[in-house]
């Protein structure tokens, strides 16, 4: 199988192991956040549209904050860290902004990391209309990308930006809703991008691997075609209003859930890899990524890898998800390519 660098796979694997002692069929909530706009990042999309379109002096604030230099060594969900990430995307067009927020390695870090120049090694990413489509009855049909930037394919995040550009039909106001605000339309576009990429390529893959490893069949009720079609036809503000998603779901199940559960903020399935890499995994981090047996030495500049490790261990930055990605690729390479991973010739 291909390597998968979602660290929550470890938690899902152990959860499935425990569940597999007693059950053989489980239900998953995959798809609920995409169909009912539940991710916190959709709030960022909505807020960015409010700021860029309505606050003429936002660029001056951005420049001042950039000069201020907010600290970077915060937890993955730390307020300052999230604020920095949000602000970094404001100057960009909406498609590139969302891709920036979703990417693990910013372009400048990938450029420094690759042992060959980034421009010499374009990522083969076909236009999204050739990759993924939606049933028209579900309210979204992928549209061809008429024009893409000349640099398309040179960054892994280009696929996400291209999906955004291809989402005109999918993100159109649902039938019976003649218009939606630009902010609501942007939230719908972001959800469509996730439906076409993050959901099948990460979440569903992760859940399938974790559950099948322990003999569990996992079903996703939200992704029943009829349910998904109805959800996507709903006006955006029925689910997402004033920066908060899943409104219609909360109301539908209000009499079945304890108030504390119904009002609870979204809880991720995270694993504390940042602390582990600064503590018990510190030696392993350097040994695996920079040791003489590393299979990725021809792919990545060891000096750039060491800088990521040093900055993270010192607490000056949180590179935990980047380092986890490199660790997964390295360990996968040792199993599948013991002679080393190399650039194709």
In this predicted structure, what is the pLDDT of residue 326?
97
In this predicted structure, what is the pLDDT of residue 172?
76
pLDDT grade for 345, boundaries at 50, 70 and 90: low
Residue 289 near residue 309, CB atoms below 8 Å: yes
Q: What is the pLDDT of residues 135-146, one digit of tens each?
A: 433 444 333 333
Mean pLDDT of the chain: 82
* Top-ranked range on mean pLDDT: pick from 15-24, 54-63, 79-88: 15-24
Spatial neighbors of 74 by CB under 8 A, at least 6 apart, are: 80, 81, 318
CA distances from residue 84 to 66, 72, 91, 169, 316 in whole angstroms, order as listed:
9, 8, 13, 32, 14
1 compared with 230, residue with greater pLDDT: 230
In this predicted structure, the answer to whether residue 211 has a pLDDT above a threshold of 90 is: yes
- Closest by CA to 41, choosing from 114, 111, 97, 3, is 97
Beta strands in the chain (DSSP E): 25-27, 217-219
Q: Tell me what percent of the residues of the chain surpass a pLDDT of 70.
A: 79
In this predicted structure, the answer to whether residue 7 has a pLDDT above a threshold of 70 is: yes
First-residue to last-residue Cα distance in the chain: 23
Q: What is the pLDDT of residues 8-48, one digit of tens each?
A: 999 999 999 999 999 999 999 999 999 999 999 999 999 99
pLDDT grade for 106, boundaries at 50, 70 and 90: confident
- What is the β-pairing status of strands 25-27 and 217-219? parallel
Q: What is the pLDDT of residues 254-279, one digit of tens each?
A: 999 998 888 888 887 889 999 999 99
Beta strands in 71-117 (DSSP E): none
> Which pTM does this prediction carry?
0.83
Residue 312 near residue 318, CB atoms below 8 Å: yes
CA distances from residue 52 to 55, 85, 97, 165, 171 in whole angstroms, order as listed:
6, 16, 12, 18, 20
Question: What's the DSSP call for residue 105?
Answer: S
């Amino acid at each position: 199988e291909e390597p998968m660098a979602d660290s929550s796979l470890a938690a899902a694997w152990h959860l499935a192991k425990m569940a597999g002692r007693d059950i053989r069929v489980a239900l998953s909530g995959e798809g609920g956040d995409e169909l009912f706009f539940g991710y916190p990042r959709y709030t960022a999309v909505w807020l960015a549209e409010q700021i860029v379109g309505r606050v003429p002096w936002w660029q001056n604030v951005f420049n001042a904050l950039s000069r201020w230099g907010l600290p970077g060594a915060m937890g993955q969900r730390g307020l300052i860290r999230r604020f920095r990430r949000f602000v970094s995307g404001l100057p960009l067009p909406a498609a590139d902004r969302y891709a920036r927020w979703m990417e693990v390695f910013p372009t400048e870090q990938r450029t420094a990391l690759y042992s060959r120049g980034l421009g010499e090694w374009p990522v083969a990413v076909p236009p999204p209309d050739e990759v993924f489509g939606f049933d028209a009855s579900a309210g979204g049909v992928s549209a061809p990308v008429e024009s893409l930037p000349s640099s398309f394919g040179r960054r892994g995040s280009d696929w996400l930006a291209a999906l955004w550009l291809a989402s005109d039909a999918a993100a159109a106001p649902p039938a019976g809703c003649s218009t939606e605000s630009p902010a609501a339309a942007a939230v719908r576009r972001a959800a469509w991008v996730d439906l076409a990429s993050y959901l099948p390529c990460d979440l569903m893959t992760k859940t399938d691997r974790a559950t099948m490893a322990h003999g569990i069949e996992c079903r996703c009720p939200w992704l029943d075609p009829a349910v998904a079609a109805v959800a996507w036809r709903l006006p955006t503000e029925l689910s997402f209003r004033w920066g908060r998603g899943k409104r219609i779901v909360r109301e539908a199940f209000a009499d079945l859930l304890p108030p504390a559960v119904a009002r609870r903020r979204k809880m991720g399935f995270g694993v504390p890899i940042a602390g582990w890499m600064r503590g018990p995994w510190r030696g392993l981090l350097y040994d695996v990524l920079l040791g003489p047996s590393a299979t990725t030495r021809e792919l990545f500049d060891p000096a750039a890898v060491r800088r990521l490790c040093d900055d993270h261990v010192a607490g000056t930055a949180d590179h935990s998800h980047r380092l986890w990605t490199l660790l997964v690729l390295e360990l996968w390479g040792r199993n599948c390519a013991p002679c080393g991973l190399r650039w194709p010739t």
